């Protein structure tokens, strides 16, 4: 049986791990290569680097981070943030990433998903989606780190991503992100039901049981968290033990 994945995410700026709440109040918390290695030791099924480097010049730094990590961490690595075109995808994969996560750029230029999937294969194109509720069971897609409402219906968008060749959706709820009250189950359920590709739950994990909750209440394939793991409130191993005790298959 396919195991549910637990994915720690590292927000990286200028080569350093940082963490903010609701995309604001950012502070540095460590070295990404060391953090990734530590997560691997804890049993992480995959590691995501989310690059929030603002300047174009700083972009090369994340590739060095990936290159160094890939020499000592032997689980899949995903890089998101700032990927604008096919060359960015190629450079990121060649640095040692297994997948890229495209977000705002894909909303503004959906063909990026198709081009990426056609050239490199669907398996390495993850579409990151930030969404917010406008009314019960209705959500719209946001870009630029949750700042701009694109007024695009979430369900229409994820279906379009799948058609264009996305291999996976990483769904981040702006409503629950940073609030630490659990994943956004209604939003997650709606997206999982709408597509056949794997969906990663993101935004809102605040305690041990939140991960198992997402797996028991929806058919999501994976759950992602950043701050919980960064601040060592929980280890990946503890989360997996909790899932296992509730009958969920984990590695």
Partner 1 sequence: MIAIIDYGAGNIFSVKNALDHLGYESNLTDKKDIIAQADAVILPGVGAFPWAMNMLELSGLVDVIKDAAVTKPFLGICLGMQLLFEKSYEFEERKGLGLIEGYVDRITDPDLIIPHMGWNKLEINHRCKLFDGLGEDEYVYFVHSYKAFCDDKSLYSYCEYGSRVPAVVGDGKYVFGCQFHPEKSGRTGLRILKNFAELKA
Give yes or no for residue 75 binding partner 1 (CB under 8 A).
yes
Segment interacting with partner 1 (CB under 8 A) among 19-27, 119-127, 173-181, 182-190:
119-127
For partner 1, the closer CB: 126 or 143:
126
For partner 1, the closer CB: 187 or 222:
222
- Selecting among 45, 88, 130, 177, the annotated active-site residue is 130
Among 55, 57, 74, 247, contact with partner 1 (rule: CB under 8 A): 74
- Selecting among 11, 40, 210, 242, the annotated active-site residue is 11
**Rounded distance between C-alpha atoms, residue 134 and residue 93, angstroms:** 36
Among 97, 102, 205, 212, contact with partner 1 (rule: CB under 8 A): 97
Considering only residues 18 through 57, tell me which ones interact with partner 1, judged by CB under 8 A. Answer: 40, 45
What are the distances in angstroms from CA 83 to CA 22, 45, 88?
A: 21, 23, 6
- Got the DSSP string for 50-91? EE---SSTTHHHHHHHHHHHHTT--S-EEEESS--SHHHHHH
For partner 1, the closer CB: 121 or 237:
121
* Residue 20 CA from chain centroid, whole number: 16
Give yes or no for residue 251 binding partner 1 (CB under 8 A).
yes
For partner 1, the closer CB: 156 or 219:
219
Residue 130 among the catalytic residues: yes
Find the shortest distance in angstroms from Cβ 244 to partner 1.
11
Name all contacts of 102-110 with Cβ < 8 Å and 24+ positions apart: 102/126, 102/127, 102/128, 103/127, 103/128, 103/129, 103/130, 103/143, 104/143, 104/144, 104/145, 106/161, 107/141, 107/143, 107/150, 107/152, 107/157, 108/143, 110/160, 110/161, 110/164
Find the shortest distance in angstroms from Cβ 23 to partner 1.
28
For 72, list phi and psi in degrees, rounded to 5.
-130, 0
Residue 45 backbone zone (phi > 0: left; psi -120 to 50: alpha; other: beta)? alpha
Give yes or no for residue 71 binding partner 1 (CB under 8 A).
yes
Give yes or no for residue 122 binding partner 1 (CB under 8 A).
yes
Give yes or no for residue 156 binding partner 1 (CB under 8 A).
no
Give yes or no for residue 193 binding partner 1 (CB under 8 A).
no
**Rounded distance between C-alpha atoms, residue 3 and residue 1, angstroms:** 6
**Rounded distance between C-alpha atoms, residue 122 and residue 30, angstroms:** 32
Segment interacting with partner 1 (CB under 8 A) among 8-16, 27-35, 74-82, 173-181:
74-82
159: helix, strand or coil: helix
Give the interface size with partner 1 as a residue count (CB under 8 A): 32
Find the shortest distance in angstroms from Cβ 186 to partner 1.
20
Positions marked active-site: 11, 130
């Amino acid at each position: 049986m396919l195991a549910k994945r637990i994915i720690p995410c590292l927000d990286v700026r200028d080569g350093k791990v940082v963490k903010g709440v609701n995309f604001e109040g950012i502070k540095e918390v460590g070295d990404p290569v060391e953090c990734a290695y530590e997560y691997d030791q804890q049993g992480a099924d995959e590691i995501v680097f989310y690059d929030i480097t603002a300047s174009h010049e700083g972009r090369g730094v994340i590739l060095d981070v990936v290159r160094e990590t890939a020499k000592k961490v032997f689980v899949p690595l995903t890089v998101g943030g700032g990927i604008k075109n096919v060359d960015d995808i190629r450079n990121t994969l060649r640095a040692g990433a297994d997948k890229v996560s495209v977000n705002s750029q894909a909303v503004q230029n959906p063909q990026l998903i198709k081009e990426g999937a056609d050239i490199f294969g669907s398996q390495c194109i993850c579409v990151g989606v930030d969404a917010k509720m406008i009314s019960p069971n209705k959500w719209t897609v946001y870009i630029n780190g949750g700042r701009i409402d694109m007024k695009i219906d979430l369900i229409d968008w994820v279906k379009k991503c799948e058609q264009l060749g996305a291999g996976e959706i990483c769904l981040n709820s702006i409503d629950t992100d940073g609030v630490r009250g659990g994943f956004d189950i209604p939003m997650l359920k709606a997206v999982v039901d709408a597509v056949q590709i794997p969906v990663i739950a993101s935004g809102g994990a605040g305690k041990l049981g939140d991960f198992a909750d997402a797996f028991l209440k929806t058919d999501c394939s994976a759950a992602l968290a950043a701050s919980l793991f960064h601040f060592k409130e929980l280890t990946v191993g503890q989360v997996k033990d909790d899932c296992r005790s509730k009958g969920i298959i984990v590695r």
